[in-house]
A = this chain, B = another copy of it.
Amino acid sequence: MRESDLHNHLYTLTSDMSVRWPHVLTGPGDDCAVVAPPRGSLLVTVDQLIEGRHFDTGTPVNLIARKAIARSVSDIAAMGGNANAEAGGWALATGILPTGYPHARELTDALHHWAAHWGFPIVGGDIASGEEGGPLSLTVTIAGRPHPIRGPVLRSGARPGDEVWVTGRIGNSLASGRHLAFEPRLTTGAWLCRSLGERLHAMIDVSDGLGRDAARVARASGSRIELDGPLVPLHADVTHLHTAVGDGEDYELCLCVSPGAGLPARAPDGVELTRIGRVVAGSGCAIVIDGVASDASELGWDHQ
C-alpha cells in the first residue's frame, strides 16, 4: 500500500472525528491537529513499542496495536487520570513500517479501534517506511487530564509510615502473553483517587519490574520502600518471587497510602488490592523474606 493510499484510507476513517469527539476542532490531515484543552491541567505521555523488544515477530496485528495504545493509557492510569471524551483525551500515533509491510491498513484500523475503546481519538500521526524485514516500531502519545478532585498522583508523594499496595497480580507477563492483553487500571486508579483523596500519596504503573518501579517511587519521594516478599500477589504460573518482581510488563498500579487508609481486598471494579509493604526512612527498595532484606531496585529491565 502506497503512503498516499494509506493517507486516503485514514482520511475516510477519521472524517467524522469532530462529530464523534467535539473537543477535536481539526482532526488528521492538516499540519497540526487542533484540540480544545481540558479545564485545569493536561497529562501527556509517550511510549514506544518495538518489534523484538516489546512484542515478538508474528504477534497478531490487533494485539500489537492494543499494546501500543494500552501502555500509554496505563501511564495515564498511574497518575489517577483518564483520557476519555469527558477528559478531552486524544492521541498521536507514528509508525516505522518495514518496507513492503502488508498489514499497514489493518494496523491503522486497529490503533484507531483501541484508542476509541479507551475513549479517545487519534488526531494525527506519521507513517514512515523502514528497512525491509523490520523491525516495526510504533510511538503513541496520549493526552488526558488528572482526576478532577484529587489532581495528578505523582511518584514523589510517598512518606515514611505509608502502606504500599499493588493492584492485581505480578510476574511472568511476557512468557504468559499477558503483556498483550492487560487491562490498564483506569477505573481502579480513578476509584482510588475518589475514595482516598489526599491519603493516596504516590502511584506508578509496574512496567519495568515491581522492585525497580517501587525504587523509582522511593527515589522521587526521598524515602525507602520495603516489600514483604510473601505478601506480593503472584500469578499462578510464577515459579520464583524474585524473578516475578523483576519481570516487568505487569501494568499493575503500585501505590503508597496513609497508614490505616483501610483499602478493601478488591476495588469496586473487581480488581484485587494487596498490601505488600511499607515506606520507611532511607533510600532504595528492598524485598524482605524471613527478616532478610535484599535489594530489589536493580531487578528487572535496564537495557545497555
Contact = CB atoms under 8 A, between A and B. Distances in A.
Contacts of A33: 43-45
Interface stretch (A56-64, A130-138, A236-244): A130-138
Interface in A89-117: 90, 92-94, 96, 99-100
Interface stretch (A74-82, A225-233, A274-282): A74-82
Interface in A108-160: 123-126, 128-131, 135, 137, 139, 141, 143-144, 146, 152, 154-156
Contacts of A45: 31-33, 92, 124
A15 B152 CA distance: 19
Interface stretch (A34-42, A165-173, A260-268): A34-42
Contact of A48 (B126, B156, B205): B126
Contacts of A31: 45, 75-76, 78-79, 155, 203-205
Given A26-B154, A47-B126, A48-B126, 11 more contacts: A31-B203, A32-B144, A34-B146, A35-B42, A36-B41, A46-B125, A50-B130, A53-B128, A92-B141, A129-B303, A130-B135
Interface of A: 2-4, 25-26, 29-38, 41-48, 50, 53, 75-76, 78-79, 81, 90, 92-94, 96, 99-100, 123-126, 128-131, 135, 137, 139, 141, 143-144, 146, 152, 154-156, 203-205, 220, 302-304
Which 9 residue pairs of A and B lie closest in terms of their CB atoms, listed nearest first?
A37-B37, A31-B78, A32-B43, A32-B45, A31-B75, A46-B92, A139-B139, A37-B42, A141-B141
24 contacts: A3-B304, A26-B152, A29-B220, A31-B45, A31-B76, A31-B78, A31-B205, A32-B44, A34-B41, A34-B42, A34-B79, A34-B152, A37-B38, A42-B42, A44-B123, A44-B143, A45-B124, A46-B92, A47-B126, A48-B96, A48-B126, A50-B128, A92-B141, A100-B304
A155 B99 CA distance: 30
Which of A41, A45, A46, A203 neighbours the largest number of chain B CB atoms within 10 Å of its CB?
A46
A302 B3 contact: yes
